[in-house]
Structure 1
Amino acid sequence: MNTKKQLRIISPNGHLGFAPTKEESFKLGAATKPDYYCCDSGSDDIGPAPLGADKSVGMYDWQVHDLELMLLAAREQGVPMIIGSSGDTGTNSRVDMYVQIIKDLAQKHQLPNFKLAYFYSEVDKELIRGKLQSGVEVEGLDGRSSLTLAELDKTDRIVAVAGIHPFIKALDMGADVIIGGRSSDAAIFAAPAIREGFPEHLSYYLGKVLECASFCAEPYAAKESVIGTITHNEVLVTAMHPDQRCTVASVAGHAMYERSNPFFEYFAGGMLDMTNCNYEQYDEKTCRITGPVFAPIEGKVKVKLEGAGKVGEKYIGIAGIRDPYTIKHIDKVIEWSKNQVAEMAAGKEYFVDYKIFGKNGVMGELEPIKDIGSHELCVVVEGVAETKELAEQVTLMATRQIFYARLPEVKGTAGTASFVVDEMLRCTPAFEWTMNHVIPVDDPLELFDVHMIEVAQS
């Protein structure tokens, strides 16, 4: 029987390492002595390329900065620190990188010995293949059909999205610091609350409101800390930045964004129903929430799978345009460029895209672009092909042909494009999402390998 009346969790950053945590509000929060230091370090909002290429999108130094802030505060206070979706994607290499950072920081600051748990989330393609061949249906999400072997074959890397279970196991093992693979954002915060006996419906809501840190406060400010407090009857969320407040509008708005149905969110084993949530202004900086419902789903637990597959090599070119006549006829310029690329690369597979940025907005190819009222445009050209050579050729041809476009009424060289970047920018290869599915499992820990080590000074 849980006798603890409340639990307090600090969330310092909505995406650890994506941009550095702001230190002032973090230190204000740490001074209140929260029970846990928890942070989400990843997202599929960054697209499939980081997962497919197995790389981070956050700068290494920024990730070290954020981990150092949390580790020193948590170890000084003697309370757990929990990280999920390490290194943006939660792949095995990102988990290993974070584990090494923690070891290095412990050595740097000569911290007393502590227990570090970590778990992996990558899934072997052959395991999924075996499931499919044995008749297991891997259902698609967001309108996707069930997974096929052809889609699996196009996949380069897969991660399973952990729920609360590996975090709870690590805490049960005595972990002081947890470095997690790919994870449900909210589970990182819900896990310690559920483990300590607080109601599931409030624990999951606590996770939902804390996952993006200060995004649930106003005025808008990213990378600032907030503290969530859970009791057996309510959730309270408080802004730490001196000029921010968690209001009814800011908290309710955050809880309902980014989903097709803003009132429901699926977690492994159940659905959080926020239809009847009640929001009240508790004090100047704090919003109080009651009323969420967690409905368990009957049958096997289903774990989300994210998979990415390589499409091709990618280059980017940039053209700036100030000539009024060219701007007025930019649709014909793009058409000319596309036709020239098609002629050059006839019979070859490639992809080319044009993004047109103007002083008065951003336009894609299919949107009306006449009479835009701008004196300057920037065209970003993206070319993708199987080989680096063809991708560069396609991108370079598409970008230069903006300058060479043959427009009616132009006599001689009219200076159509004032600036063209001839040196193409080579990018991370292009990837696509190949898997956004759920797979049934007999054990919610089936796809997650939890390890424990002692971090000691040499």
Structure 2
Amino acid sequence: MGSVDQQPDFTILTPCAILGYGYRSDHFWLGVDKFRPSAIIVDAGSTDGGPYKLGLNKMTCGRESYVRDLRPMLQACYHRKIKVLISSAGGDGSNKHVAEMLDIIREVATTENFSFKVATINTNLDREAVKNKIKNDQIHPCGPVPDLRTEDVDNAVEIVGQMGVAPFLSALQNDPDIILSGRSYDPAPFAAYCLHRGADPGVAWYLGKIMECGAFCAVPKGRVMVGTVRKSSFDLTPVSPFERCTPVSVAAHTLYEKTRPDRLPGPGGILNLDGARYEALEDGRTVRVSGAQFEPSRTYQVKLEGVEKLGHRTIFIGGIRDPILISQIDEFLEAARKYTQKLFPELDRDPGCQLKFQVYGKNAVMGPLEPNYQDAAHEIGILGEVVAPTPEKSHAIANNVRASILHMPYKGQMATAGNFASPLSPHEQDAGGVFRWNIYHLMDLSRGEEVYLFPVTHLEIPCSDKTTAPVEPAHYTPEELQEFVNGRPEPIIPKSVPSGEVRMMDIAKIVRSKNAGPFELTLDIMFDSWEVYQRVKSANVLTNEVICQLYRVDQSDILTNMYFDPAMAWKTTIKRPWEQGSIGERDTLGTQQYAPLLYLKVPPVAS
């Protein structure tokens, strides 16, 4: 039996984790029909892809993907009178992408003959205002980054501020049909709508933290999620009949992409989850969440994001199968580098002119974190990356490097026709501009700045044909409805774990890695029984010393190492050893850095 709480006030539906990534339209409409949401909210932003979005003014997804995802949402907005909130337009949330996304909304509205009241929120920040904040010591590093300098502000292509709930609350006062915002803290539109409807701040922010990722907290991971919100609690139900939420799966989502799971800082405060409670409801698919507390900070802060251009990138790829060359590949590539430096003396002497090699089959994915870097492979792949001030210079250097790798001699060489298997023609590929995050900082705000730094504009999109009223079409087939009614989640079967010594991959349910912002890497291990979790916890095999040994990092590189009982999970967060999405990137999203944990030995059960 569920805990006693007041009757549901309202429901929110989110179709997916990021607008443009797609979702099943039949599940969307079945969710709309069953749960009758008062708002459809979706986030469109992330730093995961790297700094190129701000640098190149390039949206995360193609226009066709946005049209596809927006059409059902706008149909529901018009025909069912459901509000639509979209944050971080285009991925980076720049003013340009707010305008571009508004144009896509106009396109769909014109095609469907819809009319809407729209509020847009811009988030680009004035450079002089940011410089004044630097002078007044009101900007601070966000994570392991250096202090912000005025020259960083000048060098930035664009600067956006990650707004909180205040601009959304301001926009909601005019009762728009659609709110389209620039860069936003991912949970903010969800939290703002909940606060607008009277929910407690802890409820609002925690629901936002979970729902901004769609149905990622479901088992199996899904897309469309519904939140049923009360003043002091909320319920989470995945729309797909084949998915379920469990108390552990919901609690575990607080680890995702975060430095630590129990304290989640955001604009205006910190979400404290020490008192959070997770209760499975009778339907076997819904979890009720309560007890989270939002603690306002003394100083309201927003995160700044900005990027600077480093140069132009050209890449080439190829393979090597010769075991003689593979055995001396590091020395060979260094010789190719030195030869190229004689042809181009500026190479590697300036940050804007660099050569990087990634050797797949050796340590391309993990680089300095790789513990097995000396293991030999029967074949290797080489990605060569050249960055230079101009496309012409970048291509010229890449061409010479590749030719050197193809024809340079090496000790014990037997094959003299060529050393390098090139799969592409032309062999060198233009990869465009390359950027780095040069602004990732927290800015102190004075009272009222959390609103007026992010201006709200109200406008109307008229219908294209006033003589014809749009007719709502059917949204799913009888077969899809039948599947929805009859579908059931598969049973969750815990792992069978032997009592003797085991590897972590044999005892854990989930082992994963992910960025926690552009400058941190976080690693999670989760278990599916309290007994197994306690066995690992008491074995003391996940200490700082073990992490240092596994990942070849120093103690000072470890930012978090902790257990999180509500999710039966362990987490560590370390400094990223290379800049995310920039020169020499190995794993932009950080999703393949967990492998060393798989082989960690867990001792036998104590007798």
TM-score band, normalised by shorter chain: over 0.9
Residue 320 of structure 2 aligns with an amino acid whose one-letter code is I
Q: CA deviation at 1:75?
A: 1.8
**Whose strand proportion is higher, 1 or 2?**
1
Structure 2 unaligned blocks of 5 or more: 1-5, 465-607
Question: Secondary structure of 1:305's partner?
Answer: strand
Q: CA deviation at 1:94?
A: 0.6
Partner of residue 209, structure 1: 210
Question: Secondary structure of 2:125's partner?
Answer: coil
Alignment of 1:411-426 (within 5 A): 411-413=414-416, 415-419=418-422, 421=424, 422-426=426-430
The answer as to 2:454 corresponding to 1:448 is yes
Partner of residue 75, structure 1: 78
Q: CA deviation at 1:316?
A: 1.4
Q: CA deviation at 1:415?
A: 4.5
Distance in 1 between the 2:369 and 2:211 partners?
38
Q: CA deviation at 1:177?
A: 0.5
Question: Secondary structure of 2:88's partner?
Answer: strand
Partner of residue 118, structure 1: 120
Alignment of 1:134-149 (within 5 A): 135-149=136-150
Alignment of 1:249-288 (within 5 A): 249-282=248-281, 283-288=283-288
Residue 165 of structure 2 aligns with an amino acid whose one-letter code is I
Q: Does the C-alpha gap of structure 1 residues 364 and 193 become closer, same or farther in structure 2, counting only changes over 3 Å?
A: same
8 A Cα contact 1:118 1:451, kept in partner: yes
Distance in 1 between the 2:341 and 2:271 partners?
50
Equivalenced residues, count = 449
The answer as to 2:314 corresponding to 1:308 is no
Distance in 1 between the 2:315 and 2:43 partners?
31
Distance in 2 between the 1:390 and 1:400 partners?
16
Question: Secondary structure of 1:427's partner?
Answer: strand
Alignment of 1:55-454 (within 5 A): 55-111=58-114, 113-133=115-135, 135-221=136-222, 224-282=223-281, 283-299=283-299, 301-348=300-347, 349=350, 350-358=353-361, 362=365, 364=367, 367=370, 368-373=372-377, 375-413=378-416, 415-419=418-422, 421=424, 422-442=426-446, 443=448, 444-454=450-460
Question: Secondary structure of 2:90's partner?
Answer: strand
Distance in 1 between the 2:326 and 2:247 partners?
45
Q: Does the C-alpha gap of structure 1 residues 288 and 330 become closer, same or farther in structure 2, counting only changes over 3 Å?
A: farther
Alignment of 1:25-36 (within 5 A): 25-32=27-34, 33-36=36-39
Distance in 2 between the 1:377 and 1:242 partners?
44
8 A Cα contact 2:13 2:39, kept in partner: yes
Residue 334 of structure 2 aligns with an amino acid whose one-letter code is E
Alignment of 1:12-51 (within 5 A): 12-17=15-20, 19-32=21-34, 33-51=36-54
Q: CA deviation at 1:12?
A: 0.8
Distance in 2 between the 1:249 and 1:336 partners?
53
Q: CA deviation at 1:310?
A: 0.7
8 A Cα contact 1:156 1:310, kept in partner: yes
Question: Secondary structure of 1:430's partner?
Answer: strand
Question: Secondary structure of 2:310's partner?
Answer: strand
8 A Cα contact 2:45 2:87, kept in partner: yes
Residue 295 of structure 2 aligns with an amino acid whose one-letter code is A
Query: TM-score scaled by structure 1?
Result: 0.92
Considering only aligned residues, what root-mean-square deviation do their CA atoms show, in Å? 2.2
Q: 170-179 or 140-149: which moved more? A: 140-149
Question: Secondary structure of 2:207's partner?
Answer: helix
8 A Cα contact 1:160 1:303, kept in partner: yes
Q: CA deviation at 1:225?
A: 0.6
Question: Secondary structure of 1:418's partner?
Answer: coil
Distance in 1 between the 2:312 and 2:96 partners?
22
The percentage of counterpart residues that share the same residue type is: 31
Distance in 2 between the 1:127 and 1:320 partners?
50
Residue 128 of structure 2 aligns with an amino acid whose one-letter code is E
Q: CA deviation at 1:70?
A: 1.0
Distance in 1 between the 2:247 and 2:408 partners?
54
Distance in 2 between the 1:384 and 1:365 partners?
21
Question: Secondary structure of 2:182's partner?
Answer: coil
Q: CA deviation at 1:366?
A: 7.7
Q: CA deviation at 1:370?
A: 4.0
Q: CA deviation at 1:145?
A: 3.8
Distance in 2 between the 1:65 and 1:146 partners?
42
Structure 1 unaligned blocks of 5 or more: none
Query: TM-score scaled by structure 2?
Result: 0.70
Q: CA deviation at 1:363?
A: 5.2
Question: Secondary structure of 2:215's partner?
Answer: helix
